[in-house]
């Protein structure tokens, strides 16, 4: 392994030497690897300038001005990673209704007297009257009621800048496992219901840029297969958005119209059990 690294390093240095007459400078890094920083620095290189690196060292060939610009940029980029606090807020609005019906009154069928009553009427009148006189009639009542409630649930996670976090949107689902039990000459059939975290949500990768944070967001789905719960990550649907530190960002606003998977995750979470769900997140500097 070490031999392979040395060969790669020598080839990189020889290729750079063949491309330009600028002197080679090796720049040690403290907090970020060369693989992280090279894609950021490369676009600012001029003609004949080049950059390579391995682990925590950069190999740079650049003009004096180009080298100064690179060192100024590294002074800003190669710093200790900050702790970040990601807060997830889910607002859930539930709506429902109920209908009750009742019949009360009295009447006669031949020589028999029929009395119908509904509980909880407390002598109230009104409703649809079937019959004629007050003492010989039936009353039909129907009552409809609607109601709504709202819950606010907040959760947070502390992550290191540049490290991924998972934002879960969904709930546990029942999973029925069927089995046979053999006891002597008898065979019994049974089933067991377990609740599994068949997870849907988003992978979030935060990066700081001054007083703003860039969020890379990709949807993730889970399903129950023959091998148990399996994750599917949709890296090709990754979305990058920018927001101020401490600013709330609605996931539905970021992903709606961008890809069908993200929209399906949010719509599934918001329509179960008559619920409407709004999912927001914000990023702050941790303590």
174-187, pLDDT tens digit by residue? 555 665 666 666 76
Cα distance between residue 33 and residue 188, in whole Å = 61
Last residue of one domain, picked from the residues 33, 49, 78? 78
CA distances from 69 to 24, 41, 190 (A): 16, 10, 71
Does residue 264 sit in the same domain as residue 161?
A: yes
Residue 11 domain flag: no
Does residue 196 sit in the same domain as residue 277?
A: yes
DSSP 100-153: EEEEEEEEEETTEEEEE--TT-TT---SEEEESSTTSEEEEEEEEEEEEEEEEE
Does residue 176 sit in the same domain as residue 229?
A: yes
Q: Residue 56 is part of which domain span?
A: 19-78
Q: What is the pLDDT of residues 40-97, one digit of tens each?
A: 899 999 988 999 999 999 999 999 999 999 999 999 889 888 899 988 887 767 666 6
Query: Are the beta carbons of 51 and 60 closer than 8 angstroms?
Result: yes
DSSP 18-70: HH--SPEEEEE-SSS-HHHHHHHHGGG--TT-EEEEETTEEEEE--HHHHHHH
Does residue 237 sit in the same domain as residue 134?
A: no
Does residue 280 sit in the same domain as residue 161?
A: yes
pLDDT of residue 217: 81
Does residue 224 sit in the same domain as residue 132?
A: no
- CB count, 10 Å around CB of 275? 15
- Residues paired with 86 in a beta bridge: 157, 283
Residue 277 domain flag: yes
pTM of the model: 0.49
- State the average pLDDT for the chain: 70
Q: Which two tokens stand for residue 13?
A: 């240095």
Residues 6+ away with beta carbon under 8 Å from 158: 83, 84, 85, 86, 286
* Radius of gyration of the chain, Cα coordinates, nearest whole angstrom: 34
Residue 14 domain flag: no
Query: Are the beta carbons of 217 and 239 closer than 8 angstroms?
Result: yes
Residue 2 domain flag: no
Cα distance between residue 155 and residue 213, in whole Å = 19
Does residue 262 sit in the same domain as residue 235?
A: yes
CATH number at residue 35: 3.30.1370.120
Residue 201 domain flag: yes
Count: domains in the chain = 3
Last residue of one domain, picked from the residues 125, 144, 163? 144
pLDDT of residue 113: 57
Can you tell me the mean pLDDT for 17-27? 76
Does residue 186 sit in the same domain as residue 273?
A: yes
Does residue 47 sit in the same domain as residue 131?
A: no
Residue 12 domain flag: no
Does residue 199 sit in the same domain as residue 275?
A: yes
pLDDT of residue 51: 94
Burial annotation 53-71 (CB, 10 A radius, 16+ → b, else e): beebebbbbbeeebbebbe
Does residue 139 sit in the same domain as residue 219?
A: no
Does residue 264 sit in the same domain as residue 205?
A: yes
CA distances from 234 to 133, 186, 209, 239 (A): 72, 49, 25, 11
Cα distance between residue 264 and residue 224, in whole Å = 18
Residue 202 domain flag: yes
| Terminal Cα-to-Cα distance of the chain (whole angstroms) | 40
Residue 223 domain flag: yes
Percentage with pLDDT > 90 across the chain: 18
Cα distance between residue 101 and residue 238, in whole Å = 53
């Amino acid at each position: 392994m070490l031999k392979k690294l040395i060969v790669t390093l020598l080839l990189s240095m020889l290729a750079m030497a063949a491309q330009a007459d600028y002197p080679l400078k090796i720049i040690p890094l403290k907090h970020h690897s060369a693989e992280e920083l090279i894609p950021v620095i490369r676009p600012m290189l001029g003609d004949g300038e080049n950059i390579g690196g391995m682990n925590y060292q950069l190999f740079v060939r650049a003009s004096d001005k180009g080298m100064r610009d690179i060192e100024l940029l590294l002074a800003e980029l190669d710093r200790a990673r900050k702790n970040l606090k990601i807060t997830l807020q889910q607002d859930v609005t539930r709506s429902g209704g109920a209908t009750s019906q009742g019949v009360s009154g009295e009447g006669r069928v031949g020589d028999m007297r029929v009395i119908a009553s509904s509980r909880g009427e407390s002598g109230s009148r009104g409703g649809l009257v079937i019959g004629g006189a007050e003492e010989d009639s039936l009353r039909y009542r129907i009552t409809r009621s609607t109601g709504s409630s709202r819950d606010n649930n907040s959760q947070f996670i502390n992550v290191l800048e540049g490290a991924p976090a998972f934002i879960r949107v969904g709930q546990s689902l029942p999973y029925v496992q069927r089995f046979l039990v053999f006891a002597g000459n008898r065979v019994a059939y049974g089933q067991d219901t377990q609740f599994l975290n068949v997870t849907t949500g988003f992978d979030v990768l935060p990066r700081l840029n001054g007083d703003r944070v860039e969020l890379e967001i990709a949807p993730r789905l889970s399903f129950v297969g023959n091998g148990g719960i399996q994750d599917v990550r949709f890296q090709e649907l990754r979305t990058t958005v920018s927001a101020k530190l401490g600013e709330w960002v609605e996931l539905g606003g970021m992903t709606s119209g961008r890809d069908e998977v993200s929209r399906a995750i949010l719509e599934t979470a918001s329509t179960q059990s008559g619920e409407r769900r709004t999912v927001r997140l914000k990023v702050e500097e941790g303590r």
